[in-house]
Structure 1
Amino acid sequence: MNYIKVTTTYPTGGTLLPNAFVDNYMIRANGEYIKVYIYLLRMVSDGANFSIPCLADVLELTERDVTRALKYWEKESLLRMELKDGVISFIELLPVSGNPHSPAQTTKQEEPAQATSSAASKTTVKDQTITGAEPIPAMKTLSPAELQRKSEDERFSYLLYVCEMFLGKPLTCTDMNTLLYMYEDLRMSCELIEYLVEHCVSNGKKSFRYMQSVAINWYEANIKTPEEAKAYSKNFRKEYYSIMRAFGLNQNPAPVQEEYMKRWLETDGFDLALIIEACNRTINAINKPSFPYADTILKHWKDNHIVTLEDAKNFHIRQKAPKTFANNNNQSNMHNFTQRDYDFDALEQQLLQKQFADELMEN
C-alpha cells in the first residue's frame, strides 16, 4: 500500500481550524471535502502518514470522494500535491489566506502542477483519472427558509413528495439539500432522480449519502435518462457479481465495494478465482463478509508474488510442510527433543487479523 506523507510549514496548534478557513472556505465547500481537510490537519498534528483507501474507510467515503476533495483543496490553493508514477506521494498544507485564490498562493500551487502535468493532458491518481475538466460541483447547504423558497418550484416540490413516499418518512433539511444538489448542480432530471431513489431504496439503501455517491457516479458516466441508468446498472461487470456472491451478498455493490473490486481486478491484476478464494478465507476467518479483510489477504499474497489460485495453494502447502535440517546425519544427536506441530493456516489467519487490526488502528 502506498502511504502519503503530509507536512506543513506553519504550526497547526493541534487540530484547530484557522478562522480564515471558517470565514472564507468552509461555508462554500462540500461537507465531504471539509471532512477530508480536517482529517489532513489531524494527520499533520500527529505527524502520521495515511493512504487514500484507509482515509476513505475512516471517513466512510469512497476513494473517488477523497481524490475529488484533494483536487478541490488544491484548486483552492490550500494544499500542494506531488505525484510519483501517477500516485500521490506527498501533500503540503499551505497557509490559509483571508483572501481566497490570492495570486501568491496560486503561483505557488501551480508550480508543481506544471511539473507534473505539462507533459500530458491528464494524470491518473489511484485509479482515478483527473483531467483539466471542471471538477464535480460542490454541494451547497441552504437554510430552511431558502429550501422553502426552492420547494415552490412545482417539479422540485413533486420530487420531494415522491421521495417521501419511497422512504416512508418526511425529508430532513439535509435530505432536501442532497436532492437539490442532484437537481440543480448535477443537472439531473426529476425522472432520473426519482429512478435513482427508487433504485437505491429497492436495494435496501436509504442513506442519502449513498444516493449522493450513486448520483455522482452517474454524473461522471454522463447518464441523463432513467433508461441509460437502467442499462448502466445491468452492465455491472460479471466479475463483480461473482465476488459479491462469494461473500453471500445478493445485491448491487456499493461504490466503495466497487472500488475495492476494480483495484483487485484492474490495478493489481488478480485472477478472479484468487479473489474468490480470498473472500472464502475471509468468511472462514471472521464469519462475515469484509472487503477490507479480503484486501489484507490479497496484499499478503501480492507481497509473496502470488497471482493465481494455484500459486496460493502451493504457497500454503509449503507453509504446512515440515522443516528439514541440512545435516541429517547429526540430526539424532543434535535434536533429541519432541518436534512441535504447527497449524500454519491458523498462524496465517492470526497474522492477517493482526495486520487488519493494525491498519484500522493506524487510520
Structure 2
Amino acid sequence: MSTFMFKKSSSDYTPVSNVFIEKYMPRARGEFVKVYLLALKYCIHGELGVNSSLMASTLHLLESDIMNAWNYWNEEGVVKFTPIDKMGNFNIEFVDLTEDSQKTGNEVNLLEELTNNSTKDMLHEIEKLVSRPLASKEMSTYISWQRDLSFSPEIILLLIEYCASKGKCDYRYIEKVALAWHDNNIKTIEQAQAFIKKHEDKWVKYKKILSYLGIKDGEIMKPQEDMLDKWVNSYAFPVEVIQKACDICFERLNRADFKYIDAILSSWYKDGLKTIQDIQTKDRKSTFKKAVPHKSQNDNFNNFEQRVYDYDSLEKKLLGWDK
C-alpha cells in the first residue's frame, strides 16, 4: 500500500483546468480521470495525503489502477509524481496547466497534426505496436521526430516495431533508442535495418555470455553492459574465450562475478592471449615450470666427478708393507 502526499493550499471548491478538460481528458482512460479528479479534490480541500487503498476503495478500482493512473499523468506532465522513500510513498504536485496553454514556438500543435491522415495512420499503427493508447505527450513526441530528427513515418514505425519486438514499449526507452539512431545519422530504412542488424549481432554474443552465466539480458545494469562491450568489441575475444574466463571464475568463487571475469580477461589481453589454444599453451608452460624442481646448492656437490680409490694399496702404504 502506498501513501500519496499532496502539496497544495486549501480551498472550498475543486477547480478543474479547462486545459485538462480540453487537452488531456479526452485521450485518457476513464479510471485515470477519476483518480485525477478525486486526488485533486483531496488536495484542494487540505488533505495532507491519502493512501492507495482508500482511493481504490472509493473509486472501486484496484490499487494497481491507482499507480498506473499516477504514472500516466506524470508522463503527461499533468502532475509531478516523485518518490519520498523506498517504502512506496510519493509526493504529488499538481502542475499549473494554464502555463501549458501559453506555450508557443516549436511545440507540436497536436489538434492540427491530427487532421493529417498520414499522421493519424502512423499514430494508430504505433498504438497497435505498443498495445495501448498513446498519451498526448507521446503523440507530440513521435510527430516531432519528423521535424527534429528528420525521421520519416516509416522509420518511426520501424523503430517502435523494433523496440516492441524486444518487449520494450516504455516511452522513455523508445525515445532513448530514437536519439541513438539520430546520433548514428540514420536517415533511411536501409540505414536503420543495417544498424538494427549490427546491434542485434552484438547482443547475440552478449546473450550467449549472459545465458552461460545464468543471467537474463534484462537484468544487467549499465556497468555490466559496458564490460560486455569491452570484452566483445575492445578486446575482440571470441565467446568461447569469455566463457573460459567464466569457468575459472566459477571454479574459484563458485559464483558469477563480472569484476573477477574482467580481471581475468584483462590479464589475457595484456599477455596477448586471444584464443583457447593460446590460453592452454600458457597453462602448460606454467604447469611445466612448477613440475621441474629448482636445484639447491647442495645439488652442486653431486655434480663433481668422484675419485676412485685403491683401498688395498692405501692399506699397504699405511702399514708400511709396500716397502
* Bigger fraction of residues in helix: 2
* Interval containing the TM-score (normalised by the shorter chain): 0.3 to 0.5
TM-score normalised according to structure 1 size: 0.38
Normalising by the residue count of structure 2, what TM-score does the alignment of the two structures yield? 0.41
